[in-house]
């Protein structure tokens, strides 16, 4: 049987090159020869305030972007989390085996609750994420570095449940890229590039215009040096080199070898050319399909039916293991 891969992105804000190289680019490679399931995690998104109208819009936008980035709907399943009630049901059940301490350690909760104020959903976010993954007997979960801690929790909960109630869940493995798993803000290279960054100059969005991309890269923070050298380089510069390597599909070492001695100015132009080329193709594809809502809805309908059917198998095992409901 093919390995199952599962991952998700929140339909909030706009997708950026961090999401692309940290998550989506991996999804595209991994969809080959595997049973690939990609979720639009709208229930996670409402853990911070959202405008309901915008949230709805974002579902189709995200679907079109997944496809524009190379997800093949003939090979992979794409669906909306809130359309499969098994996620919230398993999330609730997993709550009963999760300790406060486990959730209090989560750095994302600390960061987001400081930024947006706390709510129980934000605290419980990683448990719902564990449910997402465990429902599909997932083997591998391709994500960026920031999700590592959440993946560890999903594994711990699966182990605990299996030990207490019998073998129900497969233990998922995180797949985190070696080099581009944490793209930093172009303006503040000690913090992660993020959809919700207030400084727009720090984030390159997938749907930015060519001029915006060039301007953001040109203004990216580097350091007081002028030329690329292997021996040194600030966080800002190494972030740009990481992005360059990811878009060029080569290792960081290869990029250093290739670019050593080039001026920062020259390098930024090369980087901008590379990013503009890739993103213009994504944007073109996006514009071709975004207007075809019938097509996008068809994909999501198929994804929903598949997701419900597949996760029902695990859900039934969970109910049986716990003695919930009546005998089938």
Q: Is 10 in the site for ligand ATP (CB under 6 A)?
A: yes
Give the span between the Cα atoms of 256 and 157, in whole angstroms. 42
Which stretch, 12-20, 61-69, 71-79, 255-263, contacts ligand ATP (CB under 6 A)? 12-20
Active site (annotated) includes residue 317: no
Longest Cα separation, the chain: 72
Residues of this chain, 34-53, that bind ligand LTN according to CB under 6 A: 41, 44
To which H or E segment does residue 74 belong?
Answer: none
- Residue 192 in contact with ligand ATP, rule: CB under 6 A: yes
CA gap 137, 82 in Å, rounded: 19
Choosing from 148, 160, 170, 195, the catalytic residue is 195
Q: Convert residues 100-139 into a mask of x (bound to ligand LTN by CB under 6 A) and - (unbound).
A: -----------------------------x--xx------
| Chain centre to alpha carbon of residue 280 | 21
How many C-beta atoms surround the C-beta of residue 323 within 10 A?
A: 8
Task: Report the residue number, 111 or 273, with the smaller CB distance to ligand LTN.
Answer: 111
Of the listed pieces 2-10, 56-64, 206-214, 280-288, which binds ligand LTN according to CB under 6 A? 2-10
Rounded to 5 degrees, φ, ψ at 187 are -100, -30
Whether 195 is a known active-site residue: answer yes
Q: Hey, which residues between 116 and 145 contact ligand ATP (CB under 6 A)?
A: 143-144
Q: Which residues of 92-116 are buried (b: 16+ CB within 10 A; e: fewer)?
A: ebbeeebeeebbeebeebeebbeee
Torsion over CA: 171, 172, 174, 175 (sign): positive
Our finding on whether 26 is near ligand LTN (CB under 6 A) is no
CB of 123 to ligand ATP, least distance (A): 15
Dihedral class, residue 45 (left if φ above 0, else alpha if ψ from -120 to 50, else beta): alpha
How many Cα atoms within 13 Å fall on the side-chain side of residue 203?
20
Catalytic residues: 112, 192, 195
Q: Would you tell me which residues interact with ligand LTN (CB under 6 A)?
A: 6-10, 41, 44, 129, 132-133, 141, 143, 147, 150
> Which positions touch ligand ATP (CB under 6 A)?
9-10, 12-13, 18-19, 22-23, 143-144, 146-147, 181-183, 192-196
């Amino acid at each position: 049987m093919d390995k199952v891969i599962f991952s998700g992105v929140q339909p909030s804000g706009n997708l950026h090159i961090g999401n692309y190289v940290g998550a989506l680019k991996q999804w595209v490679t991994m969809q080959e020869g595997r049973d690939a399931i990609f979720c639009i995690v709208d229930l996670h998104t409402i853990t911070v305030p959202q405008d309901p109208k915008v949230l709805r819009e974002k579902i189709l936008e995200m679907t079109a972007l997944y496809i524009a980035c190379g997800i093949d709907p003939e090979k992979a399943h794409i669906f909306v989390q809130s359309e499969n009630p098994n996620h919230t049901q398993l999330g609730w059940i997993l709550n009963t085996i999760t300790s406060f301490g486990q959730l209090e350690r989560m750095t994302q909760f600390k960061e987001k609750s400081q930024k947006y104020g706390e709510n129980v959903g934000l605290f419980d976010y990683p448990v719902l994420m564990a449910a997402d993954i465990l429902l599909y007997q997932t083997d591998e979960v391709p994500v960026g570095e920031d999700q590592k801690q959440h993946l560890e929790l999903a594994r711990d909960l699966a182990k605990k449940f299996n030990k207490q109630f019998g073998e129900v869940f497969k233990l998922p493995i995180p797949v985190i890229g070696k080099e581009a798993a944490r793209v930093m803000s172009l303006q503040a290279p000690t913090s992660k590039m993020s959809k919700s960054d207030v400084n727009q100059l720090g984030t390159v969005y997938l749907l930015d215009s060519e001029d915006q991309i060039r301007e953001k890269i040109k203004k990216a923070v580097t350091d007081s040096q002028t030329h690329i050298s292997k021996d040194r380089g600030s966080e800002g510069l190494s972030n740009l080199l990481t992005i360059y390597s990811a878009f060029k599909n080569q290792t960081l070492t290869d990029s250093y070898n290739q670019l050593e001695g080039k001026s920062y100015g020259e390098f930024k132009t090369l980087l901008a050319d590379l990013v503009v080329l890739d993103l213009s193709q994504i944007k073109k594809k996006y514009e071709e399909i975004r207007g075809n809502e019938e097509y996008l809805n068809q994909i999501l309908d198929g994804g929903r039916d598949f997701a419900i059917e597949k996760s029902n198998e695990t859900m039934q095992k969970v109910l049986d293991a716990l003695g919930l409901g009546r005998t089938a």
